[in-house]
Amino acid sequence: MNHDALASEMRGLREQVPGITDTAVAAADGMLIAADTADIIDPESLAAIAAAGLGIARRATAVTGRGTFRQTVTYGSQGLAAFYAVGDTALMIVLGDEGIDLERLHERTRPALGRIESILTGAEPGPLVGAMTETATEGV
């Protein structure tokens, strides 16, 4: 795996979408792969919690007949956390402040997910990366 390319993708997303505060990529089992997070965030804990949420979200998507899980967004009083599936084996976590443009975030993240998946697997990006469904969870 090319760690420099992965860091570049994460940094590039942050540069394209004002309001992104932190990013991380984790394996579906919760192991941290890469992180670009503030010192106040424990990236290993973030990866583990995100993977647990990914499992629940995937199950909820399957049980409700909504196809393959792609993303979920949790809103808090000081911003949001977006969790995106990266193929079947990884996920990307994006944290944003209150002013982040969610539509722009999703628009810019879709192609990045395909590139991240190809970095992780060594394969070419798949054609269905842009086909997303959304599950949103409000938090306070």
Contacts of 43 (CB under 8 A, 6+ apart): 24, 32, 35, 37
Mean pLDDT (the chain, rounded): 87
Question: Could you report the per-residue pLDDT of 11-29, keeping only the tens digit for each?
Answer: 999 999 999 999 999 999 9
Instruction: Supply the pLDDT for residue 47.
Output: 96
Q: Which residues does 57 contact at the CB level (< 8 Å), separation at least 6?
A: 69, 72, 83, 135
Please state, for a pLDDT cut of 70, what percent of the chain lies above it. Answer: 88
